[in-house]
A and B are shown apart, each in its own frame.
Chain A
Amino acid sequence: MQLLAERIATWLGMEGLPRQAVVAGVVLVVALVVATVVLTIAGILTWAERRVAGRTQSRVGPNRVGPLGFLQWVADGIKLITKEDVIPAAADRTLFRLAPYPVIVGIFAAFASVPFGQKLIAADLNVGVLYLMAITSLVVVGVLMAGWASNNKWALLGGVRSAAQIVSYEVPSVLAALSVVLLAGTLSLQGIIGKQGGWPWEWYLFYNPFTFVAFFLFFTSAVAEGNRTPFDLPEAESELVAGYNVEYSGMRFAGFFLGEFANVYLLSAIATALFFGGWQIPGVTPDMQAASPVWQAVGVGLFALKAGTGAFVVLWLRWTMPRLRVDQLMGLCYRYLLPLSFAMLLGNAAYVWLVPQWAAWVVQGATTTVGLAVAGVFVRRVFYHIRHVGDDVSLDLARGESGTFDPQLQVRVYGAFRRRHAGDSAS
């Protein structure tokens, strides 16, 4: 494993100083940079989530602090830092204080091996995928600690639910990721991206029907592992108030909160690396990209765009899907996702073993066509609904305008839609 730190240390030369001290210092700096980037991403995602929620629910969302309310996350951060850190009298003080750290460490350490670009990776481990799966499982420990140490029945129930959920959904997500590892023949994330290409038909998503299904299994399980709606039972407000973090306030609460949002980006970034070709640019070979700083920047941008789209889908899901029941949650994992992911793994193994190269090209082309067609139909439907129902909310109260939103419009348009389609089927 070649550490970025070692490369920087060699590059700087560092005459006279003991080399190991330099490496240690550079490691510290790289860690700080990664942590800062992750915190910024998580912060921006909290703002994005509230804007997406606003648009989804036909309201405005935060729009006062900065342009489009963009600086809201900074304001929230300052507020949370200055708030009192309340520790309940009956809590287990030591564990209560320690609990946010495993969560933060688990998620932030995972970012160390996220390939943001061809050369923009803190540590390209040769066990990359496994490392991600292993280090994020530390989150469970923190969640259980928080739930138990709060000495509150809602917190304990939330913590126990969360642990059961993360441990269960880890299995299908690892198995789905394993499908890709099987095809690439490497656990290193850069190696997996290197085996793909820039064009959609070179992505593992469209490699064959098994990987196509495996992506959806991975994404579903990863969303469930992140305790996001529709799988947010650990923090179901209607049952548990707020789940394992109910007793937390101030910066310790922010630790859990930012961890959740960093995890949303993390799961999108892993999906991008495994299934969407990572930083590969269409029509540009990795060698060309390695030679030119401009292509490097484009690659980083492309990765951010893909992962950002993934994160947006996760936010979108939260405000669109209703929450599952506890028994449905476990049933979904063990009755459907787990057997399916095993089937996809075996399917991929058989595919590698049996299908000759010329047939693989045909399958790849067919999967790409079908996959892109499905995506196209879906996007078209979404835009159709947005156009016909309207989501333009402008409640500029300062100017005394009440905007164009009409609650009855949705009902009327849907009625018209139903009537038109009833006419279609009659004729």
Chain B
Amino acid sequence: MTATIFILLAALAVLGAVLAVLLPNAVHAAMALIVMLVATAGIYLLLSAPFVAVIQIAVYAGAIMVLFLFVIMLMNVELRIPLRRWTLVAGTVAGGLFLYQTVHLLRGVMDDQARSGADGFGSAHEVSSVLFAEYVVPFELVSVLLLVAIVAAVVLGKREAA
């Protein structure tokens, strides 16, 4: 049963990702990306990580994709970028390298770590106790980075308005 659900979700995610690249219309591509993100959230759920799954939907499908759509619709992006041969080749090479690296990395950890955790492994409690105890310095650094990005965005926005 778990395998069936995984195959369905994975197929949906791959389909969404492929469509997001191939669809000529920007809005359609964004919709395909949303399908991919929601399917990925389902896979997180299968890996007994409900907190990550919910955050995935809230942040990516709910907020980031809405901003994408917002910009696409406000700008009324009509340009249909043709797939040139060199972009296909460059994309294939870059994607292939990334895939090779991912598989290579995963192979090393596959046997001892890559099984779904015990009950409560991916709950909000577990995630936060790791995040705020073990990884508190990187966490705070990322917050500062985001703050800097927000301030920079505000400054840039102001300058354009003046």
- Nearest neighbor of A19 in chain B, beta-carbon distance: B1
Secondary structure dominating the interface of A: helix
Contacts of A134 in B (CB 8 A): 54-55, 57-58, 62
* Contact A131–B54 (Cβ < 8 Å): yes
Knowing A126-B123, A163-B66, A163-B70, say if A137 contacts B31 (CB, 8 Å).
Answer: no
For chain A, which range describes its interface: under 10, 10 to 19, 20 to 34, or 35 or more residues? 20 to 34
B contact residues, total (Cβ < 8 Å): 24
A159 at the interface (CB under 8 A from B): yes
Contacts of B133 in A (CB 8 A): none
B73 at the interface (CB under 8 A from A): yes
| Stretch of A143-151, A199-207, A256-264, A291-299 at the chain-chain interface | A143-151
B124 is contacted by which of A98, A126, A138 (Cβ under 8 Å)? A126
Compute how far the CA of A135 lies from the CA of B41 in the bound complex, rounded to whole angstroms. Answer: 11
B51 is contacted by which of A24, A127, A148, A163 (Cβ under 8 Å)? A127
Secondary structure dominating the interface of B: helix
Contacts of A187 in B (CB 8 A): 124
Task: Give the contacts of B144-162 with A (CB-CB under 8 A).
Answer: none
* Contact B70–A95 (Cβ < 8 Å): no
- Nearest neighbor of B38 in chain A, beta-carbon distance: A138
Task: Give the contacts of B91-124 with A (CB-CB under 8 A).
Answer: 120, 123-124
A160 is contacted by which of B31, B65, B70, B124 (Cβ under 8 Å)? B70
* Contact B61–A160 (Cβ < 8 Å): no
B69 at the interface (CB under 8 A from A): yes
Interface residues of chain A, those whose CB is within 8 Å of chain B, are 1, 20, 24, 92, 94-95, 98, 125-127, 130-131, 133-135, 137-138, 140-141, 144-145, 147-148, 156, 159-160, 163-164, 167, 170, 187
List 8 contacting pairs A-B, 8 Å CB cutoff, sorted by A.
A24-B1, A95-B31, A130-B55, A134-B55, A137-B57, A137-B63, A144-B66, A147-B73
Question: Besides A127-B54, A134-B58, 10 other CB < 8 A contacts?
Answer: A127-B124, A130-B58, A134-B57, A137-B61, A137-B66, A138-B57, A145-B31, A163-B70, A167-B66, A170-B62
Closest 4 A-B residue pairs measured CB to CB? A137-B62, A134-B58, A134-B57, A20-B1
